[in-house]
Structure 1
Amino acid sequence: MTSEPPRTDGQERFTTPVPVRWSDIDMYQHVNHATMVTILEEARVPFLTKPFADDFATTGLLIAEVRVAYKGQLRLADSPLQVTIWVNRLRAVDFTLGYEVRSVLADPDSKPAVIAETQLAAFDIGAQKLVRLAPHHREYLQRYQR
């Protein structure tokens, strides 16, 4: 897991490598579209573990929506994929993460092969209802907001 240094434009980005497994490849030798959601999850977990780890017993995160757009090919040789994450939208109960996925061989500023978004909502596990994000969650997420 890596976190890039702060950018000169004042926006932080979180970038982490995610290995491609043989089982992630389809018959055309591309990363299978169905496994891309899992790859996004594998990148999201280290991004959210730090601010949410102490609260996981009581507060969880539910996926409300996932969008994935494919702009190029990814293959086994592109592993590990470089997944960059930022916050697109931050509201009282939910937030939306943006993703760019590139080959390990790609320039970090090149066109991504995959662009995606996930909307997550804070959830009280015991009460089984949506809850507001805690101030320390919001503070962490604001650092990565575009």
Structure 2
Amino acid sequence: MARIKVELPDTFSFSTIIPVRITDVNYGGHVGNDTLLSIIHEARVQFLQHYGYEELNIAGIGLIMSDVAIEFKQELFYPDQIKASVTANDFTKVSFDLCYKLEKEMEGKTVLVAAAKTGMVCYDYDKKKVTAVPEGLKFRS
């Protein structure tokens, strides 16, 4: 079976620090894969807020996550601090990708914890249909 490989861009337009909470630790003694997806969700919300948006309102339309890929690299433990970097790319008429680079400090070095991508589709919740990416998004390069 082929493994997922997430290609990360060279630059990121936003980063934030997300602490690992004790409730994020599973029976294996580390952060579980389901929690890592929740951490990615938190990074996405903070990314959008940084640009003055919300998931249900980016320039008047909403977003739906159509897919997700996560490449796990290192374990996370309590009380690690995650540097979550986010950027948008691969824009189409109705969608774009958000890329995530999750890192932590380990033995004096910055190490990659996970690389991830979420496919985001623009959606008009009132009309219940896919719609075009709004013109002039602040995070569109």
TM over 0.5: yes
- Judge conservation of contact 2:21–2:79 (CA < 8 Å) in 1: no
1:141 Cα deviation from its structure 2 partner? 2.7
Structure 2: distance between partners of 1:36 and 1:118: 13
Q: Say if 1:67 and 1:133 are closer, same or farther in 2 by CA, change over 3 A.
A: same
- Paired residue for 2:28? 28
Give the deviation of 1:111 after TM superposition.
3.9
Q: Partners in 2 of 1:12 and 1:84 — Cα distance?
A: 6
Aligned to 2:114: 114
Task: Give 1:51 deviation, angstroms.
Answer: 4.5
Q: Which amino acid aligns with 2:95?
A: D
Q: Which runs of 5+ in 1 are unaligned?
A: 1-9
The 8 Å contact of residues 51 and 136 in structure 1, kept in 2 or not, is answered as no
Paired residue for 1:67?
69
In structure 2, the partner of 1:90 is: 91
Cα offsets for 1:43-85 (capped at 9, x unmatched): 11121133534x729521000001111011111131x311011
Q: How many Å separate the matches in 1 of 2:111 and 2:91? A: 25
Percent sequence identity is 24
User: What is the aligned partner in structure 2 of residue 135 from structure 1?
Assistant: 135
Quote the offset at 1:106 in angstroms: 5.1
The number of residue pairs the alignment matches comes to 128
TM-score, normalised by the number of residues in structure 1: 0.77
| CA distance in 2: counterparts of 1:77 and 1:29, whole angstroms | 12
Task: Provide the residue aligned with 1:4 in structure 2.
Answer: none
Offset of 1:42 from its aligned partner?
Answer: 0.5
The aligned amino acid for 1:98 is: C
Structure 2 counterpart of 1:81:
82
CA-to-aligned-CA distance 1:65-114 (integer Å, 9 cap, x gap)? 01111011111131x311011123111110101111112x259x944111
Unaligned runs of 5+ in 2: 1-9
Question: How far apart are residue 115 of structure 1 and its match?
Answer: 0.6
d(CA) in 2 for partners of 1:18, 1:110: 15
- Give the number of the structure whose residues are more often helix, by fraction: 1
Please report the RMSD computed on the Cα atoms of aligned residues, expressed in angstroms.
2.4
CA shift, 1:22, in A, is 1.4
